[in-house]
Amino acid sequence: MEDDRHLKRREFLVRSSAAVAAGLAGNLARRPLFAARDLIEEAAAKVGRLPRRRLGPSGREISVLIGAGDLAEAPARAAILCGVNYWHKANVWARSGAPAEIIKDREAHYCQVTVDRVGGRHEAGRIDEESHYAFVKDTLETTGLGYFDDMQFHFGYHNRAEIKNERGFVRAFERLKREGLVRHLCLSQHGYAGNVRVPGGESAAEILTALIEDGLYEHAQIIYSYGHDPEINAFLKEARKRDFGTIAMKTARGLGRMTQDRAFMAALPEGTVPHNALARWLTTGTDLTAAVIRVRSLDEFVQTFSGAGQPLGTGGCRAIEMMTARADATACRLCTACQTACPEGIPIAEILRFERYALDDGDRWKARALYQELGDAAGACSGCGACLSRCPQGLDIPAKLAAARAVLAP
Ligand code: SF4
Ligand code: SF4
C-alpha cells in the first residue's frame, strides 16, 4: 500500500514537471500531458550520452555534467537516461525517497550527502562529530539509498588552521566508512576572507590549495563561472596535476537575468543560447572535472546537457564573451575580495549570493529567508566607498547592496 502510494505520488510529480516543462519546451510543448514519459525520452534522445571523466584517486568516471537532488523530476529522469551518474545534494531525496531508477541500479550511481555545521549558519556553526555521524545515518534511512558514495562538508573550512585542528568531520566520516555507509570524502568550499562573522577567515583558493596537501579529501566543489579568476584558475591547474577532483557549482552567474532580456538574447551569435554555451565552456574550456548547471525544465535540460563535451566554436566563444561582460556588470562572482575593506563588516558576498538566488534562480522566497537571517545587513552600508577598489568586476557595491536590499528585505 505504501509502495503504491509512493508510485502514484511520483507519477504525479512526473506529470507536474512535464506540465511545467510543456509551457516552455518549444516543440516538446505540443504533446498532451499523458505523454510525460515520451517527452522525457525525447529530451534524452536529443542530448545523447554524456562524456565522463576521472574524478580523482578513486578512479571513478563521472559524467561531465552532474545531477542534483533538487533537480525537478522530469529533467532528472532524462539525465539518468543520458548517463548522468553523479548526484550531489542526494540528501534532498529524504523528503520523497530517491528516484526508483537510482535505487534499482544503485551501484551505477554516485550519490553525495551534504552535511552542514551544527548550532548555527555556516559562519557560526561548529563541527561536531556525533551530530554529523547521526545526520548521515538518519538520512540514509529516509532516502533509502543504503550508502552514500561521498560525504560532503557543506560550505567547507573557515581557514587553513581549521583543516588541521578540527578533525571532527573527518572522524565522523571514518566511523561511517568503517560501517560501510560512506565511501569518499569531499567538500564544497566558500570564501571567508574579510567576513567579520568568521575571525581569521581565508579565501576559498587558499583553503582549497591547503586541502590538496592535506590529502584526505578526494574532490572539492567550488564556486566557478565565466570571468577572469586567476587565483581559482591556478588552483584548478594544480588540482588537475595532483589528481584532485573539482566540480564547479554556482556556474550560471547572471544567467537568469540574461535569458529574460530579449535584446541581449537577440544580440547573441546565431545558433547560440547561454545555457548551451555555458555547458560547452565548462566541460571543454576549463580544467574542471565536472560541473553542475541548474536547469528548471526539460527545455533547459536539452539546451544545457546537449552542450556537454562539445567544442565552443566561434559563436560559442563570442557568446561566452558577451555573457562574461554582462555578468561582470550585474552579478557578483562571490570572491569576497571587497569584504576586508568594509568598516561596517557587511557580508557583501553573502548578500549578493542571495540576490543571485532571487534574480537568476527565481528563488525569491529562499533568498529572502536567508537574507533575514543576516538581520538586514545591507542596511548598514554608509556608502563610504572603501570597498570599491577591491572589486575585480568594478561593481558599484553600495548601489548593488541597495538594489539587493530592495529585492530581499521584507
Ligand atoms: S560602501 Fe558600504 S559596503 Fe562598501 S565599504 Fe563602505 S559601508 Fe562597506
Ligand atoms: S562585490 Fe566584487 S569584490 Fe565583492 S565579492 Fe562580489 S565580485 Fe568579489
* Residue 177 included in any domain: yes
Distance from residue 350's CA to the centre of ligand 1 (Å)? 14
Distance from residue 288's CA to the centre of ligand 2 (Å)? 22
The reply to whether 241 and 384 lie within a common domain is no
Q: Which residues line ligand 2 (CB under 6 A)?
A: 332-338, 348-349, 352, 390-391, 393, 395, 397
Q: Which of 310, 330, 350 finishes a domain?
A: 330
pLDDT tens per residue, range 207-251:
999 999 999 999 999 999 999 889 899 999 999 999 999 999 999
The reply to whether 252 and 216 lie within a common domain is yes
* Residue 9 included in any domain: no
Distance from residue 334's CA to the centre of ligand 2 (Å)? 5
- DSSP symbol at 254: T
For atom 8 of ligand 1, the residue with the nearest CA is: 342
pLDDT tens per residue, range 386-407:
999 999 999 999 999 999 999 9
Q: Which ligand is nearest to the CA of 254?
A: 2
Closest atom of ligand 1 relative to the 388 alpha carbon: 4
The reply to whether 57 and 83 lie within a common domain is yes
Distance from residue 378's CA to the centre of ligand 1 (Å)? 9
Q: Which ligand is nearest to the CA of 334?
A: 2
Distance from residue 367's CA to the centre of ligand 1 (Å)? 21
Q: Cα–Cα distances in Å, from 230 out to 132, 252, 335, 377, 392? A: 34, 19, 11, 29, 11
The reply to whether 378 and 290 lie within a common domain is no
Q: Which residues line ligand 1 (CB under 6 A)?
A: 341-342, 344, 346, 348, 381-387, 397-398, 401
350, 384, 401, 405: residue to mutate for ligand 1 pocket, most atoms within 8 A of CB: 384
| Containing structural domain, residue 343 | 339-408
Cβ-contact 292, 251 below 8 angstroms = yes
* Residue 10 included in any domain: no
For atom 4 of ligand 2, the residue with the nearest CA is: 338
First-to-last alpha carbon distance for the chain, in angstroms, is 44
| Residue 3 binned pLDDT confidence (cut-offs 50, 70, 90) | very low
Assess whether pLDDT exceeds 80 at residue 5.
no
For 127, the 3-state DSSP assignment is coil
* Residue 21 included in any domain: no
Percent of the chain whose pLDDT exceeds 70: 91
225, 328, 336, 338: residue to mutate for ligand 2 pocket, most atoms within 8 A of CB: 338
- What the block records as the C-alpha cell of 204 is 576559498
Gap between the Cα atoms of 249 and 112, Å rounded: 14
For atom 2 of ligand 2, the residue with the nearest CA is: 391
Residue 40's closest CA among 59, 21, 26? 21
Gap between the Cα atoms of 84 and 82, Å rounded: 6
Q: Which of 330, 364, 398 finishes a domain?
A: 330
Q: What is the pTM of this model?
A: 0.88
Beta sheet of 182-189, edge-to-edge order: 67-68, 86-88, 110-115, 148-153, 182-189, 219-223, 245-249, 290-291
Assess whether pLDDT exceeds 70 at residue 143.
yes
* Residue 394 included in any domain: yes
pLDDT tens per residue, range 71-111:
999 999 999 999 999 999 999 998 888 999 999 999 999 99
Q: Within a 10 A sphere around the Cβ of 41, how many other Cβ atoms?
A: 14
The reply to whether 233 and 374 lie within a common domain is no
Residue 197's closest CA among 126, 125, 127, 124? 124
Q: Which of 283, 311, 330 finishes a domain?
A: 330
